[in-house]
Amino acid sequence: MKKLLIGICIALLLTGCGSKGSSSKAGVEDHSLSEQNKTDAQKAADAQSKADAAARQAAEDKRKQDEARKAADQAVVKPLPETSMSAKPLTDVASMLKDPGSPLAKRSVYYDFDMYSIREEFQPSIEAHGKFLVEHKELRVRVEGNCDERGSREYNLALGQRRADSVKRALTLLGVAPKQIETVSFGSEKPKATGSNEEAWAENRRSDIVYIGIDSSQ
């Protein structure tokens, strides 16, 4: 699609150059008609200088055309200028999110069994993400709720949704726009830690804040 657009731009650019060339030729003819009463010598000298001017003009036109072509060629070689424009701020955001010293580096909230309330210890991390999302309204996150393997898969699916939604609610209370946050529950279907022990279960009772476009492609 973008290649096609560039192609059309080049075509328009070339057509523009062509019409400019023909109108300058018409100008030369008009000029000669208005100076009919000049002497032959003057006429000859004028004609010579006119020819020189025309040649210069032609050379100038060719140079401009070449420049335009070159510019067009460069546009093809250097594709998608908007990517290079937005790449810089995104890199900054990503590096801020990945700075291990930043509270933003913590993206997970852990829960007690069958609970969905956010424990006190995760409040600073939630507040950091809330502030960050308010400052970067272009960013979107997906909160993914998970449960440990025990009990009913269906009940866990509902519980995981509640966990994700409770993080969303906490973020919106901090001023984050609801449209910046989507939620999903994986219930106990996508355990991060395998094994049937308290350590694995504790790791799997979790909500993850996933920055879309930074942590995941979608």
Query: Distance between CA 5 and CA 90 in Å, rounded?
Result: 26
From the CB of residue 104, how many other CB atoms can be counted at a distance below 10 Å?
A: 19
- Provide the minimum distance between the beta carbon of 218 and other proteins in the complex, in angstroms, as a whole number: 8
Select from 85, 215, 42, 47 the least CA-distant residue to 142.
215
Residues 100-119 that bind other proteins (CB under 8 A): 114
Query: Distance between CA 176 and CA 141 in Å, rounded?
Result: 11
Residues 163-182 that bind other proteins (CB under 8 A): 165
Cβ atoms of 73 and 6 within 8 Å: the answer is no
149 binds other proteins (CB under 8 A): yes
User: Which one among 146, 161, 204, 207 touches other proteins, defined by CB under 8 A?
Assistant: 161
- Nearer to other proteins by Cβ, of 68 and 210: the residue is 210
132 binds other proteins (CB under 8 A): no
- Site map 59..88 versus other proteins, x via CB under 8 A: ------------------------------
162 binds other proteins (CB under 8 A): yes
141-146/206-211 β-pairing:
antiparallel
Distance, C-alpha 25 to centroid of its chain: 46
- Site map 194..213 versus other proteins, x via CB under 8 A: --x-----------------
